[in-house]
């Protein structure tokens, strides 16, 4: 017989595993069933009715969450010398070029986002073996390859996230922290969902959103009732 922990029992008293809740209610419950002794991340998992193997159904985009992710984002900017001051003033954690290229080639990846200039992409591209598997390669589509470094840094620090469907047709993204009030969690989730709705490929058949669930680092997932979300 499987023994259920005390915290698990407490969580099961607050919601029904097989029931789907409105996004508003799910955002409230996730706070009630997380008992970690640290500020756990809140994640949204969305299963889409797409085939990622088809180029036109590879859903990818960026969105600025209204309340950020609650996570301190470490930004590395690889740029030419004339852009270093601008980048530092905008709040980048690491700024430079050759020194950081050498460090990355040796396996250093102590940053969350890399931003660079278009002219430097041939050089940055050589770091693909290190950056690619970790999802750290800058990309024009995500706004991390740009001449407007200041804007890119500010948006990233303020909560802009990059999302992408995986090989199983699922988008998994952090949308905040358990310490957020439920309204902020709900609004961040809604913003991400709205952005994904706008990217719906015309070639998809059947239901675009198969399922939605919300969870925290230390909790079970809560099913979200798709009918509770406008325009879905």
pLDDT in tens, 116-126: 999 999 999 99
Token pair belonging to 163: 């999302």
Name which of 77-81, 200-204, 207-211, 222-226 the model is least confident about.
200-204
Alpha-carbon distance 40 to 86, whole Å? Answer: 33
All structural domains of the chain, each given as residue ranges with its CATH number in brackets, are 16-69+161-228 (3.30.190.20), 75-158 (3.40.50.790)
| Residue 211 phi, psi (nearest 5) | -160, 155
pLDDT at 220: 85
Alpha-carbon distance 27 to 188, whole Å? Answer: 10
pTM for this predicted structure: 0.80
pLDDT at 135: 86
Q: With 0-12 CB in 10 A as exposed, 13-18 as middle and 19+ as buried, what is 42?
A: buried
pLDDT at 8: 65
**Is residue 159 within 8 Å of 65, Cβ to Cβ?**
yes
The pLDDT tens digits for 164-215 are: 999 999 999 999 999 999 999 999 999 999 999 999 998 888 899 999 999 9
Alpha-carbon distance 140 to 143, whole Å? Answer: 5
Q: DSSP letters along 88-145, please?
A: HHTT-SEEESHHHHHHHHTT----SEEEE-GGGHHHHGGGHHHHGGGT----GGGT-B
Alpha-carbon distance 156 to 216, whole Å? Answer: 22
Query: At a CB cut-off of 8 Å and minimum separation 6, what does 19 contact?
Result: 223
pLDDT at 159: 85
Alpha-carbon distance 209 to 190, whole Å? Answer: 14
More confident residue, 2 or 120: 120
Confidence band of 1 (pLDDT split at 50, 70, 90)? very low
pLDDT at 214: 96
């Amino acid at each position: 017989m499987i023994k259920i922990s005390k915290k698990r029992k407490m969580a099961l008293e607050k919601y029904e595993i097989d029931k789907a809740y409105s996004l508003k209610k799910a955002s409230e419950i996730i706070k009630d069933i997380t008992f970690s002794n640290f500020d756990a991340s809140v994640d949204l998992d969305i299963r889409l009715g797409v085939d990622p193997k088809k180029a036109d159904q590879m859903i990818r985009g960026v969105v600025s969450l209204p309340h950020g992710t609650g996570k301190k984002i470490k930004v590395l900017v690889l740029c030419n010398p004339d852009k270093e001051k601008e980048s530092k003033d905008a709040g980048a954690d690491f700024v430079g070029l050759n020194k950081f290229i050498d460090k990355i080639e040796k396996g250093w990846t102590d940053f969350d986002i890399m931003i660079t200039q278009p002219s430097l992409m041939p050089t940055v591209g050589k770091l693909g073996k290190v950056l690619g598997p970790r999802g750290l390669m800058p990309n024009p589509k995500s706004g991390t390859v740009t001449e407007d470094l200041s804007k890119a840094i500010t948006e990233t620090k303020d909560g802009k996230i990059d999302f992408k469907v995986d090989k199983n047709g699922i988008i998994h993204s952090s949308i905040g922290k358990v310490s957020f009030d439920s309204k902020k969690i709900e609004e961040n989730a809604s913003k991400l969902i709205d952005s994904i709705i706008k990217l719906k490929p015309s070639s998809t058949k059947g239901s675009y959103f198969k399922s939605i669930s919300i969870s925290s680092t230390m909790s079970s997932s809560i099913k979200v009732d798709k009918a509770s979300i406008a325009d879905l």
